Structure 1
Amino acid sequence: MDIDTVRTFVAVADAGQFQEAAAELAVTQQAVSKRIAALERNLGVRLFTRTPRGARLTIDGQAFLPHARELLRVAERAAASVRTGRRPLRVDVIASRVAPSGLMRGFHRAHPEIDLDVMMLFDIETAVAAIRSGEIDASFRAVAAPGRPLPDDIASVRVLDEPLQLLTGPGHALAFARSVTVAQLVGHRIWMPGVVPGTEWAAYYDDLVAEFGLTIEATGPNFGSDALLDTIADTPALATFMGAQTRLVWPAGHGLRRIPVTDPTPVYPHSLLWHRDNPHPALATLRAHLAAATAGHDDAGTWTPGWATPRRRCR
């Protein structure tokens, strides 16, 4: 059933005249008459009786009117659910405990009036496809990975350089160091079972290994962060890398240490991706918030892969 035809029926019923309904709808009186005639043919009943004073609802018209009003209310709710600015801003943060999730929590605290849907997509190809289809509005990723340039309709800006820290158990040789240089890590086994080949973080760690001669092992099944922390705590020969803003909690008895890495400090480059034609007003608010939150960053003494998107103003 055509919504404009139903809307015309309600307008005539409320106005009591075809001419006044036409003026309200900004169409001709002839167009109103044609719409009502089409609706009557569709329903197989007369909806109005024409009188010298206008149009009066028939018994069938009176029966149909409350349902017509409900149809219009349902149509408005359906449109509002996807109307730009009325639906939640949908953002992919990759995982719940990593830095992008913290950035979005900060955004929510600063703008509690903006509705958010937080998504967690695994790989960059899935995230880019979701942005292009309109399934999500933005995603946090490391770009652009070697050999995988972003499509022309996807914009990006680097919003956070997150320092890596060394995580060790209490028996590790570096456990009580206040900081360690990258050179001091050469020869130590760094275990990272969550590094999946083909992902942007795998490309990052591949370049880190090639640049500094480190030993990063991704062997064994990935049982999640709890199992990783248990193993690091119990195995003096193993350490792992962790982002400085990664939020993990472990038992006090584990005695784990988070140690800054220096000379240079490897930083993971988080970028925000979005579709260039996305008109959602909250997206502009998010970009402005991230620009203010990460202003004044100093790249001196840090390392990122050569393929990482250069830092520029988020606007």
Structure 2
Amino acid sequence: MDLDLAQVRAFVLTAEELHFGRAAVELSISQQALSKRIAALEARLGARLLDRGGQGVRLTEAGRRFLAPARQALAAGDLAVAAVRDERRPLRVDVWGHLYAPMRTLAPVAARAEGLELELGHGRDLPFVAAALLRGETDIGFGRVHPPLPEGLTHRLVRLEPVDAVVSADHSLAAEPALRPEQLRTSVLWTPGPLDRLDFLGRFADHFGVTSREQGPNLGLDHFAGRIAADPGCFSLLPADCPLPDVPGVRSIPLVDPIPLYAWSLLWRSSGEPPPAGPLVEAFLEEAGRSRWLEYDPRRDWLP
């Protein structure tokens, strides 16, 4: 069956907006023309993709199944047109791990890479960015990669960053110049989100025997620091190079024996030829050599 990509695009935009008016504006066509395109696609497929009722627009079960491959079809069509026209577009890079400020690492490296133009986006977490990569909606991901990684993706480690403990100035260990991770066992690990989405914090707690854990919403670094400052019994973790906001009553203390390392990686589709991340990987490896970003000693460091 041959699909009309104009009809597929009409469906995808409507499915994303769940509103015919907004989708029609996005396509610069009338709502009537939009409805005709979707109706023609449904007739071609022999299945209703959208329910149009008093409660608004909703995807049918068939529509939910069709949405992801429809996005892939559009991405492939756009790439085919760009290849014929020899169009050069910016690399689309989605980052995650926002509390740990991935742009601290990505932005200066990208700025030094000659001729590399990036279009930046913000993903919710690794599964979210991985799905966007597989759908062809973005080219590269940047953040912490951990298993299980979906089939069809590959990654490259580009930075290992020491992690500090962040505690209240009233914490019993706040005056220490450095801490061993095991000293935090009797404190409460506070996490900005559920641990099943925060792989590094979960592995740290399990490995070093931190059994008391509390979670709250990720409302940014200022809220994070304020929450830590207000509770002398809790702690959390931040990369050592991540500057704390100007919040009184919070301390960052280096961790030693071992030093926990937070891993940053580039992630992309393994089917690409050449790999879209190639120039960015090269720029990262150059910076890693200058700044010793990939040094690791198992006698001194802990890398989950």
Q: TM-score, normalised by structure 1?
A: 0.62
- In structure 2, stretches of 5+ residues that fail to align are 1-79
Shift of 1:255: 3.5
Alignment of 1:124-143 (within 5 A): 124-143=126-145
Letter in 2 for 1:196: P
Cα distance 1:92–1:216, how it changes in 2: closer, same or farther (>3 A)?
farther
Gaps of 5+ in 1: 1-77, 306-315
CA distance 1:210–1:95, change in 2 (3 Å): closer
CA shift digits 1:23-51 (9 cap, x unpaired): xxxxxxxxxxxxxxxxxxxxxxxxxxxxx
Say which SS state the counterpart of residue 262 (structure 1) adopts.
Answer: coil
1: distance between equivalents of 2:216 and 2:110? 37
Per the TM alignment, residue 99 of structure 1 is displaced from its structure 2 partner at its CA by 4.6
**Residue 103 of structure 2: which of 98, 101, 104 is its match?**
101
The residue aligned with 1:23 is none
Counterparts in 2 of 1:244 and 1:84: CA distance versus 1, 3 Å: farther
Give 1:240's aligned residue: 236
Distance 2:109 2:234 in 1: 36
Match of 1:196 among 190, 194, 197: 194
For 1:164 and 1:106, the matched residues in 2 are separated by 20
Structure 1 Cα separation of the partners of residues 93 and 219 of structure 2: 26
How far residue 236 of structure 1 moved from its aligned partner, in angstroms, is: 1.9
Change (3 A) 1:242 1:91: same
- What is the alpha-carbon root mean square deviation over aligned residues? 2.7
Summarize the alignment of residues 180-195 of structure 1 with structure 2, pairs less than 5 Å apart.
180-192=179-191, 194-195=192-193
Contact 1:154/1:275 (<8 A) preserved: yes
Aligned residues: 220
Distance 1:181 1:190, change over 3 A: same
2:289 is the counterpart of 1:290 = no
Is the contact made by 2:266 and 2:277 (CA closer than 8 Å) also made in structure 1? no
CA gap of 1:231–1:97, structure 2 versus 1, over 3 A, is: closer
In structure 2, give the amino acid aligned to 1:115.
E
Aligned residue number for residue 157 of structure 1:
156
- Work out whether residues 166 and 253 of structure 2, in 8 Å CA contact, stay in contact via their aligned partners in 1: yes
Partner of 1:261 in structure 2?
255
Corresponding position of 2:37: none
User: Displacement of 1:215 after TM fit?
Assistant: 3.7
Contact 2:162 2:262 in 1 (8 A): yes
- Partner residue in 1 for 2:168: 169
- The amino acid across from 1:130 in the alignment is A
Structure 2 CA distance for partners of 1:281 and 1:208, relative to 1, 3 Å: closer
Following superposition, the deviation at residue 207 of structure 1 comes to 2.3
The one-letter amino acid paired with 2:295 is D
Alignment match, 2:201? 205
Opposite residue 286 of structure 2, the aligned amino acid is A
8 Å CA contact retained: 1:114, 1:282 = no
Q: Does 1:273 align with 2:267?
A: yes
SS of the counterpart of 2:186? Answer: coil
- Cα 1:220/1:129, change in 2 over 3 Å: closer
Match of 2:121 among 116, 119, 122: 119
Distance 1:271 1:216, change over 3 A: farther
Moved more, 112-121 or 80-89: 80-89
Cα pair distance change 1:211/1:82, threshold 3 Å? farther
With over 3 angstroms needed to count, the CA separation of the structure-2 counterparts of 1:273 and 1:83, relative to structure 1, is farther
For the residue of structure 2 that corresponds to 1:240, the secondary structure is strand
Pairing 1:302–2:298 present: no
> Which residue is 2:11 aligned to?
none
Worse-superposed segment, 117-126 or 273-282:
273-282
Confirm or deny that 1:228 pairs with 2:224: yes
Q: Which residue of 2 aligns with 1:54?
A: none
What is the distance in 2 between the residues matched to 1:110 and 1:298?
Answer: 22
The answer to whether the Cα contact below 8 Å between 1:99 and 1:243 also exists between their aligned partners in 2 is: no
CA distance in 2, matches of 1:274, 1:247: 29
Structure 1 residues 99 and 159, CA gap change in structure 2 (3 angstroms): farther
SS at match of 1:104: helix
